């Protein structure tokens, strides 16, 4: 699975948690999940669960801390999918 | 949001035609419940989409919260009020009570994940969706009210009490308007626990719509229901200044407890306290018993129905020939527990507005203990056209709790 596919799928996963849907249309790799996309910090846990279910992977608490931007989230998912 | 109708327009129709919302539930049968029937609102994804954003639509699980959000939102819109995405209304608050929010069927996943050692997989919603204030919290994310946000929990008087509490808050001058209501969810945990008490109907699993029979000689228990009702209370000044449609005026309210003494217990009422509650609400309302056009009773379909009639008669002065019409929608929707009071108050307001009294359905023969107290014709078995100016509504709940409200139709409305 390539990173572009993961990016598209990640966008679908986070959409429901993003209050202002307009920003999804111009999403960049640099966007910060909490500060730029205004995702409620409590929902990071929900996003991680949705990701784990989608890719059948486990993301440890340490790795969650690294998922600050879209780019970083893709890297974590990509790494875990490769390990499978 | 009632078992037999979704939204007030449909509820009016359902009440008039005597539509039942009581159904058979296979899961209740497979789990060996004695009572395998219940009432549950049928809410489609399309209906939810009219009110909910995609997060609420796709992620919200708890039925009690979903019902309360939909009922509260409809009441707010019906009152001609709007909400802003980025504004807070500090003049408005809400009292949204609940019964056993944490026992809604949606909690199955929460319990099983924790028991399996997988609490890590719960996500962020397990607490907000099971805390007693959850319904108000989720609803207020939609409305953005900044005055008092309270979630009362007082068993089967929760709904009537929520209105009483909102009324008191307005009388203290602390807000301009209060959204008041209550909610109850559904599923095996709530129904199974009530079933264990041997107080539910167990003789109608093959004939669900006939299971809830308030005031009937053959009634053996209540049918559990779920749902939510809500209404906007507002100071007269505020309502008139914005040209709002006014349905009714609250004339008097009272809430008390029998103290679980003198015949009162966890499940049975202290009769003196019940009568005192009814009487005091009338006294505050300055309403004489012959002015009452309709009693909206509690009347669950248990042996307590005849006792309730005796209490009403006593509170209204004891004259048999002057007893008003009495009804309850429970034959159609079951006993919606903490949701009952608010749903039944909405039913009362609809009947007041549209000048009718809906029937008490499913009665083959009225309990003779009831006809010994009041004339048979005061118990309408089908919908009758009638102007209602003044109505009294009461509910009674576990913990020996009583709540009574007197309403009058708004003349200029």
**What interface predicted TM-score (ipTM) does this complex get?**
0.86
The pLDDT assigned to B163 comes to: 98
Q: How far is A17 from chain B (nearest CA, A)?
A: 6
Residue B402 phi, psi dihedral angles, 5° rounding? -135, 145
Q: Is the dihedral of CA B311, B317, B322, B326 positive or negative?
A: negative
Integer Cα distance of B376 and B281 in angstroms:
26
| C-beta of residue A16 within 8 angstroms of C-beta of residue B54 | yes
Question: Is residue B293 within 8 Å of residue B251, measured between CB atoms?
Answer: no
B162 and B275 share a domain?
Answer: no
**Residues B37 and B68 placed together within one structural domain of the fold:** yes
Q: Suggest the residue from A11, A14, A22, A43 to mutate for an interface test with chain B (most B CBs closer than 10 A).
A: A43
The nearest alpha carbon in chain B to A58 belongs to: B121
CB contacts of A43 in chain B (<8 Å) are 124
Contact of B84 with chain A, judged by CB distance below 8 Å, is answered with no
- B141 interface with A at CB cutoff 8 Å: no
Instruction: List chain B residues with CB under 8 Å of A16.
Output: 54-55, 58-59
Share of chain B above pLDDT 90, in %: 97
* Residues B31 and B121 grouped into a single domain: yes
For residue B252, give the H/E element and its range.
strand B248-257
Verify that B225 and B184 share a domain, yes or no: yes
User: B126 and B183 share a domain?
Assistant: yes
Beta-carbon separation of B58 and A43 below 8 A: no
Measured between beta carbons, which residues in chain B are less than 8 angstroms from residue A15?
Answer: 54
pLDDT at B318: 86
As a whole number, mean pLDDT of residues B292-321 equals 95
**Closest approach of A43 to chain B, Cα-based (Å):** 6
* Model pLDDT for residues A29-71, shown as the tens digit of each residue: 999 999 999 999 999 999 999 999 999 999 999 999 999 999 9
HSE at residue B292, side-chain half, CA atoms within 13 A, is 34
Identify the bridge partners of residue B229 per DSSP, sorted by sequence position.
Answer: B182
pLDDT for the residue B321? 84
pLDDT category at B104 given cuts 50, 70, 90 is very high
Chain A positions touching B123 (Cβ under 8 A) are 45-46, 49
Confidence of residue B85 (pLDDT cuts 50, 70, 90): confident
Q: Is residue B145 part of a domain?
A: yes
- Among B46, B305, B2, B358, smallest CA distance to B159 is for B2
Does residue B335 fall inside a structural domain? yes
Q: What is the Cα–Cα distance from B329 to B244, expressed in whole angstroms?
A: 28
Residues of A contacting chain B (CB within 8 angstroms): 15-17, 42-43, 45-46, 49, 52
**In this structure, what CATH number is given to the domain that contains residue B338?**
3.40.47.10
Distance CA A61, CA B10 (A): 49
Q: Could you tell me the pTM of the whole model?
A: 0.96
What distance in Å separates the CA atoms of residue B129 and residue B55, rounded to the nearest whole number? 14
Are B182 and B198 within one domain? yes
Number of domains in chain B: 2
For residue B236, give both structure tokens: 């007269």
Q: In what order do the strands lie in the sheet with B227-234?
A: B149-150, B92-98, B177-184, B227-234
Q: Are residues B393 and B266 in the same domain?
A: yes
Q: Last residue of a domain, which of B208, B241, B274?
A: B241
- pLDDT class for B413, splitting at 50, 70, 90? very low
For residues B20 and B330, give the distance between their C-alpha atoms in angstroms, rounded to a whole number.
9
> Closest residue of B to A41, CA-based?
B124
| Structural domain that includes position B103 | 8-241
Q: β-pairing, B401-409 with B248-257?
A: antiparallel
Distance from CA of B70 to the nearest CA of A (A): 19
Which chain B residues are Cβ-neighbours of A52 within 8 angstroms? 121
Residues composing chain A: 84
- Residue B412 pLDDT more than 90? no
* Sign of the dihedral through C-alpha B82, B85, B90, B93: positive
Instruction: Please check whether residue B1 lies inside any domain of the structure.
Output: no
Q: Is residue B169 part of a domain?
A: yes
Give the residue from B218, B241, B264 where a domain finishes: B241
CA dihedral sign of residues B83, B88, B94, B99: positive
Domain co-membership, B229 together with B257:
no
Distance of CA B297 to CAs B161, B217, B338, Å?
A: 15, 17, 15
Å between A49 CA and nearest CA of chain B: 7
Residue of B120, B131, B138 best to disrupt the A interface, most CBs of A under 10 A: B120
pLDDT digits (tens, 9 = 90+) for B151-168: 999 999 999 999 999 999
Which H or E run contains A74? helix A70-83
Q: Pull the structure tokens for residue B66.
A: 């979903």
| Listed residues B211, B241, B271: the one ending a domain | B241
Q: Is the pLDDT of residue B322 over 90?
A: no
Determine the residue among A13, A14, A38, A45 to mutate to test chain B binding: the one whose Cβ has the most chain B Cβ atoms within 10 Å: A45
Displacement of CA B348 from its chain's centroid (Å): 11
Does residue B16 share a domain with residue B163? yes
List residues bridging with B390 in a β-sheet. B408
B218/B298 Cα distance (integer angstroms): 18
Residue B394: strand, helix, or coil: strand
Average pLDDT over residues B174-191: 98
Task: Report whether pLDDT(B380) > 80.
Answer: yes
Of A16, A42, A52, the CB nearest to B54: A16
- For residue B209, give every residue at least 6 positions away whose Cβ sits within 8 Å of its Cβ, in sequence order, or none: B20, B22, B362
| Whether residue B232 is found in the same domain as residue B311 | no
Give the closest of A16, A42, A49 to B55, CB-based.
Answer: A16
Chain B hits for A42, CB-CB cut-off 8 Å, are: 124
Question: Is B268 within a domain?
Answer: yes
In a domain, B350, yes or no: yes
Q: Is residue B229 part of a domain?
A: yes
- Whether B3 is in a domain gets the answer no
Taking residues B250-262, report their average pLDDT: 98
Q: Are residues B252 and B236 in the same domain?
A: no
- Going from the N-terminus, what domains does chain A have, and what CATH number goes with each? 3-83 (1.10.1200.10)
pLDDT of residue B341: 98
Residues B152 and B257 reside in one and the same domain: no
- pLDDT of B84: 86
């Amino acid at each position: 699975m390539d990173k572009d596919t993961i990016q598209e799928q990640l966008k679908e996963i986070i959409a429901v948690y993003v209050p202002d849907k307009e920003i999804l249309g111009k999403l960049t790799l640099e966007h910060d999940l909490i500060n730029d996309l205004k995702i409620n910090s409590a929902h990071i846990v929900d996003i991680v669960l949705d990701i784990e279910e989608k890719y059948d992977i486990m993301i440890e608490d340490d790795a969650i801390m690294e998922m600050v931007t879209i780019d970083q989230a893709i890297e974590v998912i990509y790494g875990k999918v490769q390990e499978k | 949001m009632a078992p037999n109708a979704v939204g007030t327009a449909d509820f009016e129709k359902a009440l008039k035609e005597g539509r039942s919302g009581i159904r058979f539930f296979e899961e209740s049968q497979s789990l060996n419940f004695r009572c395998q029937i219940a009432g549950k609102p049928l809410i489609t994804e399309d209906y939810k989409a009219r009110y909910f954003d995609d997060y609420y639509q796709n992620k919200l699980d708890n039925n009690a919260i979903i019902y309360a959000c939909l009922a509260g939102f409809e009441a707010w819109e019906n009152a001609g009020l709007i909400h802003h995405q980025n504004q807070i209304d500090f003049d408005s608050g809400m009292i949204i009570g609940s019964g056993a929010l944490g026992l809604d069927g949606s909690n199955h996943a929460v319990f099983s994940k924790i028991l399996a050692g997988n609490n890590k997989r719960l996500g962020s919603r397990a607490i907000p969706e099971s805390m007693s204030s959850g319904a108000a919290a989720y609803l207020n994310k939609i409305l953005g009210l900044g005055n008092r946000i309270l979630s009362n929990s007082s068993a089967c008087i929760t709904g009537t009490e929520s209105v009483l509490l909102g009324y008191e808050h307005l009388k203290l001058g602390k807000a301009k308007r209060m959204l008041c209501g209550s909610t109850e969810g559904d599923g095996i945990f709530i129904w199974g626990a009530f079933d264990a008490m041997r107080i539910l109907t167990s003789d109608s699993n093959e004939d669900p719509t006939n299971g809830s029979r308030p005031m009937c000689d053959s009634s053996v228990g209540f049918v559990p229901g779920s749902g939510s009702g809500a209404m906007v209370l507002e100071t007269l000044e505020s309502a008139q200044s914005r040209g709002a449609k006014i349905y009714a005026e609250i004339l008097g309210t009272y809430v008390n407890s029998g103290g679980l003494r003198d015949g009162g217990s966890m499940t049975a009422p202290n009769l003196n306290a019940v009568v005192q509650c009814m009487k005091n609400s009338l006294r505050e309302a300055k309403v004489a018993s012959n002015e009452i056009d309709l009693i909206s009773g509690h009347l669950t379909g248990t042996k307590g129905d005849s006792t309730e009639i005796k209490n009403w008669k006593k509170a209204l002065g004891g004259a048999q020939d002057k007893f008003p019409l009495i009804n309850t929608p429970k034959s159609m929707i079951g006993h919606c527990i903490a949701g009952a009071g608010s749903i039944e108050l909405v039913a009362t307001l609809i009947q007041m507005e549209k000048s009718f009294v809906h029937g008490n359905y499913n009665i083959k023969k009225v309990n003779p203990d009831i006809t010994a107290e009041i004339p048979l014709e005061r118990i309408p078995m089908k919908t009758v056209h009638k102007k209602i100016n003044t109505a009294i509504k009461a509910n009674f709940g576990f913990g020996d709790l009583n709540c009574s409200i007197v309403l009058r139709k708004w003349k200029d409305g």
